[in-house]
Structure 1
Amino acid sequence: MLFQVRMDVHIPLDMPVEQVNEIKVVEKAYSQDLQRQGKWRHIWRITGQYSNISIFDVESNEELHNILQGLPLYPYMNIKVMAMNRHPSSIREDDS
């Protein structure tokens, strides 16, 4: 199942810089592991914002939910999820 996910990050301004940097290191490792597994297919930064648009390829809504809740920055995110289906007019048989 393919999902488009927009993540907008809002880290509290009073959070200590050391704590923020620690969370970011763990977040990067977590997201890159999911990318290597093929579950986090694409990630794009939104210019000028602390936000991204990502494409996930997972088995179920529950799997995506669990992945997103596992993000170390999850408590500081607003997340919007959109399920995606192949369009019947697409000329491609795959996601390339």
Structure 2
Amino acid sequence: MEFLVRTENLLPHDTPDATRDELRRGERERAVELRREGVLKRLWRVPGRNATVGLYEAEDPAALHDALTSLPMWKWMDVTVEALATHPQEK
């Protein structure tokens, strides 16, 4: 299944720089792993916001949930997920 995932990072502004840098580094590393695993297909940055839009592929919603909760910044993310279905003209 494919999913459109929108995330907004809500990490508090007073987070120490060292902590913020460590979380960002961990987030990048995990994103690379998810790409290698074929879960994260595409990722776009939303200009002007600390947000992304991603195309993910997972066996089912539970597998997607597991992938998203594996991200280091998960607990500071506002996440919206839309399951995608193939359009009849794409078959």
**Band of TM-score, shorter chain:** over 0.9
Gaps of 5+ in 2: none
The size of the alignment, in residue pairs, is 91
- The structure carrying a bigger helix percent of its residues is 2
Match of 1:78 in 2: 78
Superposition misfits of 4+ residues, deviation over 6 angstroms: none
**Mapped partners of 1:55, 1:72: distance in 2:** 19
Matched-pair identity in %: 29
Match of 2:6 in 1: 6
**Mapped partners of 2:14, 2:23: distance in 1:** 15
TM-score in terms of structure 1 length? 0.91
**Mapped partners of 1:9, 1:26: distance in 2:** 14
Q: CA deviation at 1:82?
A: 0.0
Gaps of 5+ in 1: none
Q: CA deviation at 1:38?
A: 1.2
SS in 2 for 1:89: helix
| C-alpha RMSD of the superposition | 0.9
TM-score in terms of structure 2 length? 0.95
